Amino acid sequence: MVTIGIDFIFPVITVVMSLLFFLSVSEQYIRKRKMHQLVWAISMFLFLVTAGVEGYSYSVGSWDPFIYRIYYVFAAVQVALMGAGALYLFASRDIINKRNSGKALTLFGVSWAFFPMMFQRMAPVLLLVLIPAIVLTLIGLGTWLQNYIRDSEKTVSFSGKQLSHIFVLFTFYMFILMMIVALGAELDLAYLTASGGKEVAGHGWVNDLTSSNGPRATIRLFSPLNTISGGIALIGGAFYSYYAWQRALKKKKGAYEPKTGIFNLYIGGGALVLAIGGTLSGFGISITSLLGLEALEEIFGAGILYLAEAIGVTFMYFGFLESDKITWKKLVSVLTLGWLRKKEETKVSSGDK
pLDDT band, residue 353 (cuts 50/70/90) = very low
pLDDT tens string 256-302: 888 888 888 889 999 999 888 888 777 666 665 555 555 545 545 55
pLDDT for residue 307 = 85
pLDDT tens string 323-333: 776 555 555 66
pLDDT tens string 89-121: 888 888 888 888 888 999 999 999 998 998 888
Q: Which fold has domain 6-342?
A: Rhopdopsin 7-helix transmembrane proteins (1.20.1070)
Answer yes or no: are the C-beta atoms of 205 and 186 closer than 8 Å.
Answer: yes
pLDDT for residue 134 = 96
Q: Which of residues 163 and 336 earns the better pLDDT score?
A: 163
Q: Which of residues 303 and 32 earns the better pLDDT score?
A: 32
Report the predicted TM-score, pTM, of the whole model to 2 decimal places: 0.84
Q: How far, in Å, CA of 85 to CA of 146, rounded? A: 27
pLDDT band, residue 351 (cuts 50/70/90) = very low
How buried is residue 341: exposed, middle or buried, by Cβ count under 10 Å (0-12/13-18/19+)?
A: exposed
Long-range pairs of 53-57 with CB within 8 A, sequence gap ≥ 24: 54/11, 54/14, 54/199, 54/306, 55/8, 55/11, 55/12, 55/14, 55/15, 57/197, 57/198
pLDDT for residue 292 = 55
Entry field: residues in the chain:
353
pLDDT for residue 349 = 45
pLDDT for residue 27 = 84
Q: How far, in Å, CA of 93 to CA of 118, rounded? A: 36
